[in-house]
Amino acid sequence: MTLGPGDPAPSFSLADDSGAHATLDDYAGRRLVVYFYPKAFTPGCTTEACDFRDRHEAFLAAGYDIVGISPDPPKQLAAFRHKHSLPFTLLSDPDHEVATAYGVWGKKAGGKGGKGLIRSTFIIGPDGLIEKAWYNVKADGHVEHTLEDVAAAGSA
């Protein structure tokens, strides 16, 4: 199951890196980039998170908040956020319920079997509908492409 433009974004209520809960409803009426990443402190996930960090102001200027979701526990997310000075919220999905709802938990492409989190990004509009969905993305360069898309959407 995959999500596409016009589909309702699955709701979530997850612990953030401080242990507080964040929900999709917290972002109602705002545009949101939700990116799923497999594991904090791994090379690809660090590259992706730092790319979002480095372009955070540009996303905000375009009217988008950013949320990262992984299976990591809040304590690990806090360390990851602190070490890399990440200015956006990181959420913990240890049971993969939200990842499953977004269609990003499953057999990984090119994997050697087993299930895992499929690196993916979603743009959610202020109405709670998916505007754009990218599945199975590469960490390097993806954030720049995402920013180009949101900038183009803002000027349309």
Q: Is 50 a catalytic residue?
A: no
Start-end of H helices in the chain = 43-54, 56-61, 74-83, 97-101, 142-155
85 DSSP assignment: T
Catalytic residue among 45, 78, 98, 137: 45
Closest CA to 18 of 65, 76, 87, 67: 76
How far are the Cα atoms of 5, 128, 139, 156 from residue 125, in angstroms, in the given order?
Answer: 10, 5, 23, 15
- Structure-block tokens of residue 13: 């209520």
Task: Give the residues across from 124 on adjacent strands.
Answer: 32, 130
Residues recognised as catalytic: 45
